[in-house]
Structure 1
C-alpha cells in the first residue's frame, strides 16, 4: 500500500469530502440521506465544537481518500464515555485496508481522549464496512429492522461496539 496518513480536518478539505459523502447518498444505501447534502449541512456534521471529538482526513499516496471521525453518541452526560465512529472512503479506495487503518487510527485518538466504548451504526447492506469493523474486534450489539426507507425499500441498521479501555 502507498503511504497512508491522517490529518485533522481543514476547512479546505470540506468540498472534496462532501463529494465523497454525496456519492454514497446518491448511489448507495450506505447513507440514509435521500438527497445530496449542501455545504452547510455537511460542514456541521464534520466540525465538532467539543475538542474531544474529531474528524481526520485520510490520505493515501498523496491523494485525499476520505475521512474518519469520532463524534458524540448521544447528548446526555452519562454517554460521555462513548463515541460513535463514522468512516467514508472514496469508492476507488474501498477494499484496500484503508478502512481498518482508519478504525485503528481513530481508536488510538479515542483512547487518548478517555473514551471507554466505541460504536458504529451501519446499514446492514454495507457488507464491506461490517467486515472491517468485525475484523477489528467489534461485535454486533444491535439490529434494528426496517428503520430506514430509501429507493422503495426498507433498510435495517446494525450497531457494532468495542470496549477500548
Structure 2
C-alpha cells in the first residue's frame, strides 16, 4: 500500500500560536486508520511535539482522506477543520473539541482563522458577489481597512475563518453582531462565500464547522443566516448544518432591477 505525506500549518490569531505537522495518509483507502504528527510553539518557548493516532473514517461514498488530530479548537489553539461535516451540538464550555485535517486528492485543504495577508483575496471574493451575485445586497466595494477592522475585533463571537489550498483562499466564513442593541449580544449573523469552482467540495460545511464551533466556545446562543432567494445550494448547506427556517421576508431587497425575498434561518448553539 503506497503512502504519501503532506505538511501543513495552522494559525490562531488569538495569541500567535503556530502549529505545524506532517500528515501520513494512505493513497488507496479512505476508510483505514490515519496518523498525524503535530507540534506547536508559542513565542519564546520551545516546540512541544505530540502525536495522535486517528480514528477510521466511517463515512460512505467520500473520496477524501480524513485525519483526526488531538488539537483543540478554543481561543489560543491551532484550528484545522474537517471539510464536509458540521459541528454537533456540543455544550458550551466542554474541553477537547477536535478539529481534523482533510486530505483530498493528495492535497491538504485547510480551514483556519483568517490572517491579514488573506484579506485582499477575501475582499475580491466579496467584491465579485457585489458585482455579479445576489448573496449580498451591498452595491459598493468595501475598503480594505474595513476588513482589517473586522479581523482585528476582539469581541467574543466576531470570528473569521478562511479555506486555503496551495496558498489560495477558496472561501471564507465570518460572524458579526446581528444588531447593536445589548440584548442581542449572544446572537451572531453568519455568512459563507466561496470562490467560483470551489462549490461541491465540502468547503461550505468545513467553514461552518469551524465558525459555529468557535461561536459556541465564545458563549454565543444563536447563529442567524439570511439567504436571498432563490438559492437552493445555500439553503441545502444551512439545513445540512442544522439551521431551521424561521421565515421569509418578501421583496425586501432590490438588486439588478429585481425585487428579492430573503429567507432567515437560525441555529441554536447550546
Q: 1:5 to 1:80 in 2, by over 3 A?
A: same
Counterpart of 1:84 (choices 189, 196, 202) is 189
User: Structure 1 residues 152, 40: CA separation in 2 closer, same or farther (over 3 Å shift)?
Assistant: same
- Residues 23-63 of structure 1 show CA distances to partners (whole Å, capped at 9, x for unaligned) of 11111111112233332344445543424311112113543
CA distance in 2 between counterparts of 1:6 and 1:20 reads 16
Choose from 224, 241, 244 the match for 1:119. Answer: 224
Contact 1:87 1:102 in 2 (8 A): yes
**Structure-1 separation of matches of 2:157 and 2:175:** 8
Highest RCO, 1 vs 2 (Cα 8 Å, sep ≥ 6):
1
Number of matched residues? 165
Unaligned runs of 5+ in 1: none
Separation (CA, whole Å) in 2 of partners of 1:98 and 1:60: 11
Q: In structure 1, which of residues 12, 23, 29 is the aligned counterpart of residue 117 of structure 2? A: 12
**Residue 71 (structure 2) pairs with residue 71 (structure 1):** no
Match of 1:134 in 2: 239
- Aligned-pair RMSD on alpha carbons? 1.8
**TM-score by structure 2 length?**
0.57
Inter-partner Cα distance in structure 2 for 1:29 and 1:47: 27
Give the 3-state SS of the residue equivalent to 2:253 in structure 1. Answer: strand
Partner of 1:144: 249
2 CA distance for matches of 1:52 and 1:83?
Answer: 7
Between structures 1 and 2, the one with greater helix share: 1
Alignment pair present for 1:155 and 2:263: no
Contact 2:110–2:164 (8 Å) recurs in 1: yes
Moved more, 29-38 or 123-132: 29-38
**Structure 2 unpaired stretches of 5+:** 1-103
